[in-house]
Structure formats: C-alpha cells, structure tokens
Structure 1
Amino acid sequence: MRIVDIREQTAPIASAIANAYIDFSKMTCSVVAVVTDVVRDGKPVVGYGFNSNGRYGQGALIRERFRPRLLEADPMALIDATGENLDPHKIWAAMMRNEKPGGHGERSVAVGTIDMAVWDAVAKIAGKPLFRLLAERYGTGAADPRVFVYAAGGYYYPGKGLEQLTAEMRGYLDRGYTVVKMKIGGAPLADDLKRIEAVLSILGPGQRLAVDANGRFDLETAVAYAKALKPYDLFWYEEAGDPLDYALQAALAAHYPNAMATGENLFSMQDARNLIRYGGMRPDRDWLQFDCALSYGLVEYLRTIEMLKENGWSPTRCIPHGGHQMSLNIAAGLGLGGNESYPDLFQPYGGFPDGVKVVDGHITMPELPGIGFEGKADLIKAMRAVAE
C-alpha cells in the first residue's frame, strides 16, 4: 500500500465580487489528487482536496516541497498500525519534516490541501463516509449527519444596490437557510447600516443576519461599528480587525456584548491558542471559524480542538470558514456547531452533493464514501481531470 503520485492543478475561481479588503477577480485555488495503489471496484483509490477561497493556489509549494517529501518517504512509514490503511498523522509528519516552527503562512494552505485529499483517500479505503470514520476514531462513536449551515454572500460589486442585495438574501432564505451573512466595511458606516437594515427588513421569525468586516477596521472604526450594530441583535459581528490583532479583539468585547466571530485567517493550533489566551473571546457566546483547509488540515485541526477543550471551549462553538465538504464532514463527525456555505459562489468547489437540500437551516450528510466529492457532478468532473 502506497501513494503512487500527488497531482496538482491551479484552477481559477475568479468572480467580480469584493469584500472590505480584497476583490476576487484573480482568485485561484489548488486542486490536488492523491493517487494510491489501493484498488476498490476495479479502480485505484484517489483522494481529492482543494484549498478554501480567499487564499491563492499553492502549486509551487506543493510541487517543490511537499509532494517530493511524500513520494520519497518509505511507503511503510506512511501506513497505520493495522497495515490496512494510510495514516494521515504519519503523512502529515512526513510533509512537515525539515520545516521550522512558526511561519504559519502559505505552507499551511499547501499542507491543508494535501491533507484533505489524504483523508478522502483514507475514508474511501475504509469504505466509509469521512464523518462516520471521524466519529469512530475521535468523536463519540455516533455521528450526527444533520449539520447547521448558513449562507454567506452579500459581497460588494459594481451596480449592486439594496434591491439586488435583498433579492440575493431572499434567495438564500427561500432555499431553506435561516442565517444569512453579508459583508460590511467596504462602504461608509452610514451606507452599511442602510444595507443591514434592508436585509433585516426581509427576515422572518427565526431568521438571523451575520455581518463580516474581513479584518478591515482599526480599533476606533471597529468600536464605532460595534456601537451602531448593537441594537440589531445580529447572529454575529465577524473579524472586525486584523486577525492577529488580539488586543483589538479583546478591547472590542467591552463595547459589543453580543456574539462575535473570528479565526478564519489563523493557520495553526498555536495561533488559535493565542486567540483564546489574549483575544478576549467569550466561550458562552462567541464563534470560532478556523478552516482546516487553510490551517495544515485535519491533523492540525484535531490538535486545535483538544486545545479548545483544555481551555473551556466546546467544539460546538466552532463554525468553520470555507463552505467546503471537508468541514461539513468534520462538523458531523466531531460535533462542531455547523459550517459556512456559499450557495452561488466559488463553484464548483462550494456547495453540497447533488440532491442535498437545506431544511430549516440544516443539511443531512449523504452516505458517500470519503468526503463525498463524487456526489457533486460538476466538482468530481474537475477533480478527475486532475487525477487523469
């Protein structure tokens, strides 16, 4: 049993949208295929992965550093104790050999992309959905296939006024979502408040709005928004300031008693631990958005969950960024609070397997081996093109 090859292709996910910080007109992502010599149903098992939106493709790092290390490793050193499957932890260690501590930047995305493909392969070799394998190995033993999801959108783009914004959000609500999210910080406060109030006006009972500043604000501006947002009873106020400015996040809590969220741009367990230590985050109301596809993968995410438990945080306070099926599996298998969803954006990489519907803000995971990419026709077509 061994990894035969690791193939990468950098694919465009460009879109004419912008948040408060960047536009997505030249955005790319890496699609990875981990090809094994294990045969199921007459074909080699191939695991697939890709990195989340907001970070660019990682082809150079994958080809120059991480792929060679895995292909040069002793195949027996990458197999688990049963001898019947690959070991993601050993594979992760082989990728990170000769890497210094710290510097959790682009390499965390490259490793996280390969790690996703490895876990997909491992679950396929085991003949199980990944979420059930995770529940058996690291959870309670019994996975809950029903996962909360919210619809992320509300980006800025030329010509998008209040009518277009509310039509977009109404479309998400009509598809079964109960929580929708929109961007703020890309317009003056007064204009953003008009946008927020327009969306709030179309929400019905049990429906909520979250807002996301994408790290745009200094403390003064973050506080000004906090005071203005306080009366709205939002689902959360997300990433007000720079993700590494823990002092700003801690100071903001004194001005905003409602729920806040951050963490999508923290790329290691150590960074997550610093947020918990110094960021003033409150485990009774705030939300953590660490994204395994950007932060060294599930192997590292398991360490992050253990760190959270040691510091009095429940995994149910985690709702990962990224809108991908890997985090859906983690949420179902390890009991997270839910997952982000991009119903219309970043296709074919966002969304759910074909036929999966949102009902009362939740989806039910299908019983597909691995992560479930084969259940989404447009996505698996693009992935198989990389493998072949």
Structure 2
Amino acid sequence: MRIVDVQEKAVPISSTISNAFIDFSKMNASIVAVKTDVIRDGKPVVGYGFNSNGRYAPSGILRERFIPRLLEASPDEMLNEAGTNLSPEKIYDILMQNEKPGGHGERTVAVGTLDMAIWDAVAKIEEVPLYQLLADQYGDGTIDEKVFVYAAGGYYMPDKGLSELKDEMKTYLDMGYSKVKMKVGGVPLEEDLKRIEAVIEVVGSGDNLMVDVNGRFNLEEAIRFGEAIKDYKLFWYEEVGDPLDYKLQEELSKVYPHAIATGENLFSVQDATNLIRYAGMNPKTDFLQFDCALSYGLVEYMKILNMLDEHGWSSRNCIPHGGHQMSLNIAAGLHLYGNESYPGVFQPFGGFADGHSVEDGFVTLPDAPGVGFEAKNNLYDLLKTL
C-alpha cells in the first residue's frame, strides 16, 4: 500500500465581498489529490483536499517542500500499526520533518490541505464515512445524526444597503438556517448598529445573530463596540482583535457580558493553549473556531481537543471556521457544537452534500465513504480536474 501520486492546483474563489480587514478580489485556494495504489470498486482510491477560505493557496510550499517530502518517504513509514491503511499521524510526522517549531506561517495551511486528502483516502480505504471512522477510532463510537450549522454572510459589498442586507438574511432563513452571522467593524459604529438592528428585524432576536469583526479592533474600540451591542444579547461577538492579542481578549472578557468567539486564525495546539491559558475565555459560554484545514489538519486538531479537555473545556464549545465538509464530519464524529456554513459565497467549497438541505438549523451527512466530496457535484467536478 502506497501513495503513487499527488497533484495540486490553485483555483480562484474571488468575489466582490469584503470584511472589516480584507477584500476577496484576488482570493484563491489550493486543491490536492492524493492517489494510492489501493483499489476500491475497480478504481484506485484518491483522497481530495483543499484549504479553507481566507488564506491564499499555498502552492509554492506544497510543491517545493511538502509534496516531495511525502512522495520520497518509504511506504512502510506511512502505514498504521496493522499495516492495513495509511496513518495520518505518521504522515503528519513525515511532512513536518526538518521543520522548526514556531513561526508557523503558511505551512499550517499546506499541511492542513494534504491532511484533508489523507483522511479522505483513509476513510475510503476503510469504506466508511469519515465521521463514522472518527467516532469508532477516536470517539465513543456514536455520531451526531445531524449537525447545527449557521449561515455566515452579511459581508460588505458595493451598493449593498440595509434592504439588500435584510433580503440576504431572509434568504438564509428560507433555506432552513435558524441563526446567521454578519460582518461588522468596517464602517462607523453608528452605521454598524443600524445594520445589526436591521438584521435582528429579520431573524427575530439577537440570540439568532452573530457579529464578526475579523480582528480589526484595538482594545478601546473592542470595549466601545461591546458596550454598544450588549443589550442586543447576540449569540456571539467574534474575533474582536488581533488573534494573538490575548491581553485584549482577557480585558474584553471582563466587561462584555455575553458569549465571545475566536480561534479561526490560531493554527497550532500551542497557540490554542495560550488562548485558553491567558485570554480569559469562559468554557461555560464562549466558542472556539479552530479550523483543521488551516491549522496542520485533523491530527493537530485532535491534539487541540485533548488540550481543551485537560483544561476543562468540552468539544461542544467548538464550532469550526470554514463551512466545509471536512469540519462537518469532525463535528458529527467527535461531538462538536456545530459548523459554520457559507451558503452564498466561496463556491464550490461552501455548503454541504447535494440533497441534504438545512432544516431548523441542522444538516445531515451523506452515507458516502470518505469526506463525502463525491456527494457534492459542483465541488467534485472541480476536484476531478486534478
């Protein structure tokens, strides 16, 4: 059993949307295919992967470092103890050979992209959905039959006023979502408050709305905005300042009385540990958004889950960023709170399997081997080009 080929390609996911920090006019992503010599249904097993939105395609380091490192390794180094399948943990160690600790940079995205493809292949070789493999091998054997998802949108766009914003949110409710998220911090406070109030008119209460600053605020701005929105009792107030400014997070946690969410731009178990140690986060109320596809993959993500458990946090505090099927499998198999969803943007990566519509804020998963990419036609059509 061995990996015989790995292909990578950068594909565009550009659009006219923007948040408080960046626009997506030149955004792209890497897609990868990992081909094995294992035959299932008369064809070689191929695992697919991609990186989440918000970080550009790591094509250079994939092609120059990580793909060659994977292909040059001995096949025996990659196998599990029984010799019956690839070992994602051993492959992680291979990929990280001669990599110094710290200064993680874009390599977290490159390794996370390959890791997704490896897990897809491993589950396909076992001929089970990834969520069931995770539940059986790393969880308690049970799965969540349906997973909570929320609709992430509310981006700033040219000529997008309150009416257009409200129409967008109505569309998400019509699609079956019960909670929505919008961007804030990119316009003056008074204008954002009008935008928030307009969305609450649509979704019914602040508990059905999250707001996301994308790291734009300093401490003074974060506290001022939090004071202005606290009476709305929003579902959460997200990524208020720089993701590594744990002191800002700690000071905000002292004065903001409701749930805070962060973590999507922390890409290692050590950074996640520092967040839990020093940022004043509350395990009874707050949410963590680490995204395996951006942070060295599921192998690293499971280390983060173990760390959280040691510090008194539950997997139910986790709602990964990214809105992709990989995190949906993790949520179902390892009992997370839920998963983000991008029903309107970042296609074909956003959204879930065809025929599995959102109902009352929850979605089910296909009974397909692997991550289930083959059950999402527009995404699978793209991945097949590899």
Return the TM-score normalized by structure 2: 0.99
Q: Which amino acid aligns with 2:122?
A: V
CA deviation profile, 1:34-88 (whole Å, cap 9, x unmatched)? 0101011111100000000000001111110001111111101101112111000
Give 1:273 shift.
Answer: 0.2
Aligned partner of 1:6 in structure 2 is 6
Equivalents in 1 of 2:187, 2:356: separation in Å?
35
CA deviation profile, 1:198-255 (whole Å, cap 9, x unmatched)? 0001123796000000000000000000000100010000000000000000000122
User: Secondary structure of the residue that 1:199 maps to in structure 2?
Assistant: helix
Residue correspondence of structure 1 range 10-159 to structure 2 within 5 A:
10-159=10-159
User: Secondary structure of the residue that 2:141 maps to in structure 1?
Assistant: coil
Q: Does structure 2 conserve the Cα–Cα contact (< 8 Å) formed by 1:34 and 1:46?
A: yes
Q: Does structure 2 conserve the Cα–Cα contact (< 8 Å) formed by 1:374 and 1:380?
A: yes
Q: Identify unmatched segments of 5+ residues in structure 1.
A: none
Q: Which amino acid aligns with 2:82?
A: T
Aligned partner of 2:338 in structure 1 is 338
Q: Does structure 1 conserve the Cα–Cα contact (< 8 Å) formed by 2:207 and 2:234?
A: no
Q: Which amino acid aligns with 2:182?
A: M
Aligned partner of 1:249 in structure 2 is 249
User: Secondary structure of the residue that 1:202 maps to in structure 2?
Assistant: helix
Q: Does structure 2 conserve the Cα–Cα contact (< 8 Å) formed by 1:178 and 1:207?
A: no
Aligned partner of 1:314 in structure 2 is 314
| Residue 276 of structure 2 corresponds to residue 276 of structure 1 | yes
User: Secondary structure of the residue that 2:203 maps to in structure 1?
Assistant: coil
Equivalents in 2 of 1:44, 1:18: separation in Å?
41
User: Secondary structure of the residue that 2:292 maps to in structure 1?
Assistant: coil
Aligned partner of 1:267 in structure 2 is 267
Equivalents in 1 of 2:175, 2:17: separation in Å?
22
Give 1:151 shift.
Answer: 0.3
CA deviation profile, 1:5-47 (whole Å, cap 9, x unmatched)? 1110000000100000000000000000001010111111000
Equivalents in 2 of 1:51, 1:324: separation in Å?
10
Equivalents in 2 of 1:217, 1:344: separation in Å?
26
Aligned partner of 1:177 in structure 2 is 177
| Residue 348 of structure 2 corresponds to residue 348 of structure 1 | yes
Equivalents in 1 of 2:61, 2:325: separation in Å?
23
User: Secondary structure of the residue that 1:201 maps to in structure 2?
Assistant: helix
CA deviation profile, 1:149-182 (whole Å, cap 9, x unmatched)? 0000000011000000000001001111111000
Aligned-CA RMSD value:
0.9
Equivalents in 2 of 1:28, 1:2: separation in Å?
30
User: Secondary structure of the residue that 1:31 maps to in structure 2?
Assistant: strand
Moved more, 187-196 or 98-107: 98-107
CA deviation profile, 1:74-108 (whole Å, cap 9, x unmatched)? 10110111211100000110000000011121000
CA deviation profile, 1:239-297 (whole Å, cap 9, x unmatched)? 00000000000000122010000000000000000000001100000000000000000
Equivalents in 2 of 1:354, 1:364: separation in Å?
11
